[in-house]
């Protein structure tokens, strides 16, 4: 079968991948669509350290082809969106409704794939850049069949992370003010999360002026190409500032733009050893810096919610898909993503 493989130096689309059958508590999914996220590219450029060889992809949707023993919530033929959270469901964090903190779901890559007898790692417990993948049952979330799979694929990462950061982590309330730095796939979902939450002033900041109309479509009330103008709109600062780029200097900027009792939420992925600086004295007015893993999401609950919001016309999914590519065109899809030509490119099988 076809898939996108990174061998530690190069990326190639191969046609000789093999995936094992699902075991107890697992699901075999025929992937139909997979969003190309910057996290996949960050594995290739080394920003995210990951063992190789690895099958890339972590944002996908498809159709269940088989289930292992003990799986009852999905069946063959069901449409599913895939999450990256292979959480155990039994530890103290899972029991508290915090699956993103499950220690058994982090840092333990498996090898369900092989090529010519050589095992390959699975990226983010998912590897959606393959025609078929095996995931834990908890990662397969049943969705209505009337949601296009090219759109549903984006719920598994970009939507869960961006919208979830607003609703679950920052808990933006009605009438509050929001600044979003960076309007890529994550930033756009932060914008629409803020709109859904009822924020009244939502300032999008991106150095690319071509992104203005898309930002306004997703919920921004203002668009700037520099953070320099934020104080003209919000003289006392913002209640919430989301850093969606992963630039250490912008972490400082996010903190500096906060009003009293404001929160800076860090979503952009920096290099593991990168350090950011800020003035601690600025924090004594009850300001906070919040990390956020995967939108503090509970995928089985949140994806179902986002699917319903999509059907009501309140959550935009189709508009996120700028371009679709057959998996063989991965190189072009990656180039378009790196140059900011797409909100989200989607690979199809």
Q: State the average pLDDT over residues 257-267.
A: 98
**Of 31-40, 106-115, 256-265, where does the model show the most confidence?**
256-265
Write the CA distances from 294 to 23, 164, 171, integer angstroms.
Answer: 26, 8, 15
Residue 44: what are its φ and ψ, rounded to 5°? -65, -40
pLDDT band at 196 (very low <50, low <70, confident <90, very high): very high
Per-residue pLDDT at 221 = 98
Per-residue pLDDT at 108 = 75
Q: State the average pLDDT over residues 282-299.
A: 95
Stronger pLDDT, 47 or 160, i.e. the higher one: 160
Print burial letters for 240-249: b (CB count within 10 Å at least 16), e (below 16).
bbbbbbbbbe
pTM, 2 dp:
0.94
Q: For residue range 244-254, what is the model confidence (pLDDT) as tens digits?
A: 999 999 999 99
Q: State the average pLDDT over residues 160-171.
A: 98
- Alpha-carbon span 222 to 160, nearest angstrom: 24
Please list, in sequence order, all residues whose beta carbon lies within 8 angstroms of the beta carbon of residue 91, skipping any fewer than 6 positions away.
102, 103, 104
pLDDT at 22 over 80: yes
Report the share of the chain in percent with pLDDT over 90.
91
pLDDT band at 339 (very low <50, low <70, confident <90, very high): confident
Sign of the alpha-carbon dihedral angle for 177, 181, 182, 185 = negative
- Alpha-carbon span 79 to 317, nearest angstrom: 16
- Alpha-carbon span 309 to 303, nearest angstrom: 10
Task: Average the pLDDT over each of 101-115, 132-146, 296-310 and give the range with the smallest value.
Answer: 101-115
């Amino acid at each position: 079968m076809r898939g996108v493989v990174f061998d530690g130096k190069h990326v190639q689309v191969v046609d000789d991948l093999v995936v094992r059958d699902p075991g107890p508590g697992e699901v075999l999914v025929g992937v139909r669509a997979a969003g190309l996220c910057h996290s996949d590219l960050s594995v290739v450029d080394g920003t995210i350290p990951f063992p190789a060889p690895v099958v890339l992809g972590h944002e996908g949707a498809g159709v269940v082809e088989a289930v292992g023993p003990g799986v009852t919530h999905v069946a063959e033929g069901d449409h599913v969106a895939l999450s990256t959270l292979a959480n155990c469901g039994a530890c103290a964090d899972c029991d508290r409704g915090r699956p993103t903190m499950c220690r058994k779901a982090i840092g333990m890559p498996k090898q369900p794939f092989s090529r010519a007898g050589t095992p390959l790692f699975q990226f983010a417990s998912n590897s959606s850049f393959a025609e078929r993948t095996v995931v834990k049952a908890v990662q397969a979330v049943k969705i209505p069949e009337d949601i296009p799979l090219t759109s549903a694929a984006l719920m598994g990462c970009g939507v869960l992370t961006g919208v979830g950061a607003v609703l679950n982590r920052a808990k933006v309330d009605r009438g509050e003010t929001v600044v979003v730095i960076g309007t890529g796939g994550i930033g756009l979902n932060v914008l629409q999360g803020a709109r859904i939450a009822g924020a009244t002033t939502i300032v999008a900041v991106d150095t690319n002026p071509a992104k203005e109309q898309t930002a306004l479509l997703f919920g921004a009330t203002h668009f700037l190409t520099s953070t320099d103008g934020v104080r003209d709109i919000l003289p006392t600062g913002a209640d919430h500032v989301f850093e969606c780029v992963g630039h250490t200097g912008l972490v400082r900027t996010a903190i500096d733009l906060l009003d009293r009792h404001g929160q800076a939420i860090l979503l952009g992925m920096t290099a593991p050893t990168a350090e950011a600086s800020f003035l601690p004295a600025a924090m004594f007015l009850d300001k906070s810096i919040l990390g956020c893993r995967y939108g503090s999401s509970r995928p089985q609950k949140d994806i179902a919610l986002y699917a319903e919001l999509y059907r009501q016309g309140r959550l935009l999914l189709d508009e996120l898909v700028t371009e679709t590519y057959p998996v063989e065109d991965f190189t072009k899809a990656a180039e378009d993503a790196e140059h900011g030509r797409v909100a989200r490119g989607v690979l199809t099988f």
